[in-house]
Amino acid sequence: MACDKCFEKPVIKVTGSENSFCKACFFKYFEKKVKKTITKYNLIEKNDHIIVAVSGGKDSTVLLNLLVKVLKGRDDVKITALAIDEGIKGYRDKSLEHIKKICEDLKVELKLFSYEKEFGKSLDEILKTYKGIPCSVCGVFRRYLLNKKSKEIGGNKLATGHNMDDEAQTILMNNFRNNIKVSARMGPITGIISDKRFIKRIKPLYFLTEKEITSYAYLKGLMDKFNECPHDSDSYRAQVRDMLNDFEAKYEGTKNGIITAFLEILPLLKKHYKEEEFDEIQNCKICEEPCSGEICKACTFVEKVIKN
């Protein structure tokens, strides 16, 4: 078997197709796909200040490296990296060391914020008394800080390392939980309406699988000793992920099919929920961040979980 492009020895077979690529051709395929996503969905525009959410994991590390490469020479676009330290000893502290080095090598400014400083306690401290699912409180705090701090830094778009696997998992989770309105906010660029209180999220890796991103990171020498969050196995997402991976192994192309079908109905979902979205958004009475009720979920958790 040989590379479909140059007949060199292949290193990877692309999921959902018969294509096999050597190292050099795989890089071209991968980077071309990212550029096509950025162009097709107009993810990056003139005078954008892109905040890149980084964790030290493979997805965000690959994303940051690619955006620096793609935007090289674009003086009109600024890139700033943003990391959130949840306070998970033995996990986040190690990954932050990796991303600090990456940002230093790429000459990208890194802004770091922590749960302990912003909310009063680290996640490890919170979980000593909080008996719920760790991801339920951590996810709320993380999304809150990414939105709030991106705006404070002066960004107008937040780039995340979400890939095809992530998106397919979320689509299924929303279907299982009857959260179709939440799905309406998804896609390569998020949101139903344009509101300055919410920073637009862009996903340049949207059409790439986790396997492809892992392979790219390894072959480019970007891999660190990536460890999974110790609370990952407790999450609902982990169970959906395992189920979807099992389907993909048996019926190749399942994830791509979910994404393709979803993108066909996404414009209808956005249109259907647009008016409702305008009516729902309020400002939190405590922190003034946007929310759907009088008090946002982050402030609710601070009052109930941390202060009490």
CA-CA distance, 13 to 224, in Å (whole number)? 23
Is 17 part of a structural domain of the chain? no
Give per-residue pLDDT as tens, 11-50. 888 776 677 888 899 999 999 999 999 999 999 999 999 9
pLDDT band at 57 (very low <50, low <70, confident <90, very high): confident
Q: pLDDT at position 230, please?
A: 65
- 42-56, 205-219, 278-292, range with the lowest pLDDT: 278-292
Q: How many helices (H) and strands (E) does the chain have?
A: 12, 9
User: Can you give the C-alpha Rg of the chain in angstroms?
Assistant: 20
- Region 232-244: mean pLDDT is 85
Is 105 part of a structural domain of the chain? yes
Is 111 part of a structural domain of the chain? yes
Angle between the N-to-C axes of helices 254-280 and 236-250, in degrees from 0 to 180, rounded to the nearest 10: 140
Q: pLDDT at position 224, please?
A: 64
Give per-residue pLDDT as tens, 170-201. 999 999 999 999 999 999 999 887 888 889 99
Whole-structure pTM value? 0.91
Is 106 part of a structural domain of the chain? yes
Q: Concatenated DSSP letters for 249-301?
A: HHSTTHHHHHHHHHHHHHHHHHHHHHHHHHHH-EE-TTT--EESSSS-HHHHH
Is 35 part of a structural domain of the chain? no
Give per-residue pLDDT as tens, 61-85. 999 999 999 999 899 999 999 999 9
CA-CA distance, 67 to 63, in Å (whole number)? 6
Q: pLDDT at position 136, please?
A: 84
96 neighbors 56 (Cβ within 8 angstroms): yes
Q: pLDDT at position 235, please?
A: 78
Q: pLDDT at position 243, please?
A: 95
| Number of structural domains the chain divides into | 1
Q: pLDDT at position 133, please?
A: 83
Give per-residue pLDDT as tens, 249-272. 999 899 999 999 999 999 999 999
Domain housing 132: 43-275
Q: pLDDT at position 148, please?
A: 96
Is 212 part of a structural domain of the chain? yes
Q: pLDDT at position 44, please?
A: 97
Q: What is the CATH number of the domain that holds 266?
A: 3.40.50.620
Give per-residue pLDDT as tens, 110-158. 999 999 999 999 999 998 888 888 888 898 999 999 999 999 999 999 9
Is 141 part of a structural domain of the chain? yes
pLDDT band at 222 (very low <50, low <70, confident <90, very high): confident
| Neighbour count for residue 45 (Cβ, 10 Å) | 10
